[in-house]
Amino acid sequence: MNPINYAKGLLDEFEGALRTGSTKLAAEIKAELEKIAPHARRAIADLHGVVEDKIVKLPDGTEAENKLVTDIKAVGVRLDEVLAPKTTKAATKNPTGFTPPTGPADTPPAA
C-alpha cells in the first residue's frame, strides 16, 4: 500500500478511535502515524508536481475538479493537524489535537 493511502486509513481510524473514546487505540494509531509521516509527506511532495491541476478538461470539453489533488492535499493537512506539536492552553484541554467536524459550516467553499 502506498504511504498516502496508508496514512489516510490511519487518520480515519484515529478519528474513529477518538469519536468512540478509545484513547489507548488513538495513542497507538498516532504513534504509527508519527512513524510513517515522513514517507507520506515525501509521497505527497513527489506527486505535487505530477498532479497539480485542480481543474481538468474532460474529453467532451467540460471541466471538472481533479478529486485526486484534493484528496492528496487533504491527507497532508490532516497529518499536520494530528501531528503538530501542541503548546497552547487549548492543547492541554485537547491533547490529541483532533477536532471532529461539526457539519457543513466546517467545509470550505469550492474554489
What mean pLDDT comes out for the span 17-37?
Answer: 94
- pLDDT of 99: 61
Give 33 or 93, the one with higher predicted confidence.
33
What is the DSSP code string of 52-107?
A: --SEEE-TTS-EEE-HHHHHHHHHHHHHHHHHS---SHHHHHSTT------SGGGS
Is residue 24 scored above 70 in pLDDT?
Answer: yes
Question: Which pLDDT band holds residue 49 (cuts at 50, 70, 90)?
Answer: low
Give 104 or 39, the one with higher predicted confidence.
39
62-76 tens-digit pLDDT: 877 777 778 888 898
Q: Is the pTM of this model over 0.75?
A: no
Is residue 58 scored above 60 in pLDDT?
Answer: yes
What mean pLDDT comes out for the span 42-65?
Answer: 76
